[in-house]
Structure 1
Amino acid sequence: MQLFSVPRRGYVSLQTSLVLLVLCGSGVFAGNGTKSCKLSIENQSERKVLDRLEPLANKNFTADITDDKDSYTYVFQLCGDAGGVPKAGVIQVNKKDKKKTVIGFYNTTQAIGGSDWVMLIYGGGEKYDSHCNGEQRKAMIMISCSKDVDSKLEVILEDRERGNNCFYLFEMDSSAVCPPVQSQLSAGSIILIIGFCLLAVYLIGGFLYQRLIVGAKGMEQFPNYAFWVEVGNLTADGCDFVCRSKNREEPSAYRGREVTTNTVEEEPEERDDHLLPM
């Protein structure tokens, strides 16, 4: 029994909406990353610092804190709407009444960076009620390099007991701000590695070719076996000539005896042809 039916056009629209919802949830239609942040004073140096934080863009980071009376959840998003509040970079959520207070907006951003840290400042937040002469709130997020710890937001303090320049200080560890690892290999090491790789390819490829294609057996499976045997023989001959050749001059103690012996041996035989009768 069919209770209701969905028109074909309505079915297609519903299917399209579901697809768009999945794409949005997977980040396909995410924001423009750090480009969504508007610097207080646009300059190239701060923009480069923001670009280092690109892996953290469009992600919510939360931290919980409990006061004497109230409990709060702080939500931080880099260049995105924290907790769904438009233009809010950092918000405070009261766990009791769910009230949201904007600490800072990402359209008034400052970015200061070092070799392994970045200080992000969101200003222009909601005004204090009875603290800091009613000035606007401001969030400062210190992001430090940590290769072993995933990004985690922590609330360090809320400095609101001064007359002005009050701020919320947050800290977060992330590998996004770590300097790139420099290669420790020298040019000679790289050349040696390439040479060993080429040698391995030559030996393995030649062995397979000789065995599977040519059908060689034994030592003949070695690629270019005859050539390398000849090289080995020539090398051995050269080593023998250079390292094992005999001295050309004999010791003087034996020279006289050798000359005497040779003289005796080379004396012509006496001929007695003249004694024969004519």
Structure 2
Amino acid sequence: MKVVNRHIGGAFLVWTLAVQLVLCESGVPTTDGIKNCKLYSDSESERKVLNRLAPLAHRNFTIETKNEAESYTYVFQLCGDAWGVPGAGVVQVDNTKKETKVIGMYNATQAYGGSDWVILIYRDGEAYDGHCSKEKRRAFVMISCNRDMDVAQLGSVLEDRERNQDCFYLFELDSSAVCPPIQSQLSAGSIILIIGICVVAVYLIGGFLYQRLIVGAKGMEQFPNYAFWVEVGNLTADGCDFVCRSRNREEAPAYRGVATEPLEEEQEERDDHLLPM
């Protein structure tokens, strides 16, 4: 029986470690997908913000805008070639003229973030033809927290080019990737209690199945290590009786020398001989 219990405990330990590995892998995303991004001014804080966006890597996000004379499709990819254009993080596709312009490059990236939002900036796009003093285009991607969806489509597009410099394109994107982690409400004691309950449940169920199916026990004998637990119960009761009782069950006599057995009644003196005959 000890060997079987050892096997059950070993299997439970392996299962627990496997679950922990799966949780760790699912909770800590890999950062391989963002290694192509090069920060415009390398800093540790911006690198940490960029790492939060790792779940969005290798995906194309598109949005189409139309007006009376123009129709454009914008394509955004995190640290990858948007629309297949090498080095382009955001591109603009003119659906009428079939022309493609690079708005921002992922080798000139900036990243700023708060608790539930991130702003990703791609710089060094193609220069304007006649706006913004012919400076290079820039793309701002505002990524906000939304726990109800993994990734949504790109939102509204705003192009601010009616100025002499610092013009930009602004995109919006909702994703759960930038949401802060939900803090566990379980205390250390609660976690230990849950683990203990699981261990006891595995011990009872596994031992019961072994006793019933392998040993062929019936009734209370199906309980794992039944004889051991009965002995433990008896010893516990004896210990409690010894510790909790302050005196013997039989009360001591009030005075020494007085027997506890009831005295035999003295035989009644007969005075029949005094009666007149």
**TM-score tier (shorter):** 0.7 to 0.9
**Does the C-alpha gap of structure 1 residues 217 and 133 become closer, same or farther in structure 2, counting only changes over 3 Å?**
same
Q: Does 1:220 align with 2:233?
A: no
Q: CA deviation at 1:130?
A: 2.8
Q: Does 1:188 align with 2:179?
A: no
Q: Distance in 1 between matches of 2:42 and 2:115?
A: 21
What secondary structure sits across from 1:154 in the alignment? coil
**Does the C-alpha gap of structure 1 residues 77 and 223 become closer, same or farther in structure 2, counting only changes over 3 Å?**
same
Q: Which range moved further: 212-221 or 224-233?
A: 224-233
Q: CA deviation at 1:93?
A: 0.7
Q: Which residue of 2 aligns with 1:79?
A: 79
**What pairs up with 1:104-183 in 2 under 5 angstroms?**
104-151=104-151, 152-183=153-184
What secondary structure sits across from 2:156 in the alignment? strand
**Structural RMSD (CA):** 3.2
Q: Which residue of 1 aligns with 2:89?
A: 89
What secondary structure sits across from 2:38 in the alignment? coil
Q: Distance in 2 between matches of 1:247 and 1:171?
A: 87
> Greater RCO between the two (CA within 8 Å, min separation 6)?
2
Amino acid at match of 2:165: N
Q: CA deviation at 1:162?
A: 2.0
Amino acid at match of 1:118: V
Q: Does 1:35 align with 2:39?
A: no
**Does the C-alpha gap of structure 1 residues 247 and 105 become closer, same or farther in structure 2, counting only changes over 3 Å?**
same
Q: CA deviation at 1:267?
A: 6.0
Q: Which range moved further: 226-235 or 41-50?
A: 226-235
Q: CA deviation at 1:249?
A: 8.7
Query: Deviation string for 1:145-173 (max 9, x for gaps)?
Result: 22212322123311111222111100111
Q: CA deviation at 1:195?
A: 1.2
Q: Say how many residue pairs are matched.
A: 232
Q: Does 1:203 align with 2:187?
A: no
Q: Which residue of 2 aligns with 1:45?
A: 45
Amino acid at match of 1:145: C
Q: CA deviation at 1:239?
A: 6.7
Q: Distance in 2 between matches of 1:267 and 1:239?
A: 45
Note if contact 2:34-2:57 (Cα within 8 Å) is conserved in structure 1.
yes
Q: Distance in 2 between matches of 1:170 and 1:86?
A: 21
Q: Which residue of 2 aligns with 1:57?
A: 57
Query: Deviation string for 1:88-125 (max 9, x for gaps)?
Result: 11111111121111111112111112222111111111
Q: Distance in 1 between matches of 2:167 and 2:68?
A: 21
Query: Deviation string for 1:212-235 (max 9, x for gaps)?
Result: 232211111112222333444455
Larger Rg belongs to: 1
What secondary structure sits across from 1:129 in the alignment? coil
Q: Which range moved further: 152-161 or 76-85?
A: 152-161
**Does the C-alpha gap of structure 1 residues 247 and 96 become closer, same or farther in structure 2, counting only changes over 3 Å?**
farther
With normalisation by structure 2, the TM-score equals 0.72
Query: Deviation string for 1:46-101 (max 9, x for gaps)?
Result: 12221221222222110111133211100011111111112111111111121111
With normalisation by structure 1, the TM-score equals 0.72
Q: CA deviation at 1:237?
A: 6.0
Q: CA deviation at 1:207?
A: 1.4
Structure 1: gaps (5+ residues): 1-30, 271-278
What secondary structure sits across from 1:65 in the alignment? strand
**Does the C-alpha gap of structure 1 residues 92 and 212 become closer, same or farther in structure 2, counting only changes over 3 Å?**
same
Q: Which range moved further: 214-223 or 74-83?
A: 214-223
Query: Deviation string for 1:154-209 (max 9, x for gaps)?
Result: 23311111222111100111122222333322111111111111111221122122
Amino acid at match of 2:92: Q
Q: CA deviation at 1:268?
A: 9.2
What secondary structure sits across from 2:155 in the alignment? strand
Q: Which range moved further: 206-215 or 185-194?
A: 206-215
What secondary structure sits across from 1:205 in the alignment? helix
What secondary structure sits across from 1:228 in the alignment? helix
Amino acid at match of 1:134: K
Structure 2: gaps (5+ residues): 1-30, 270-277
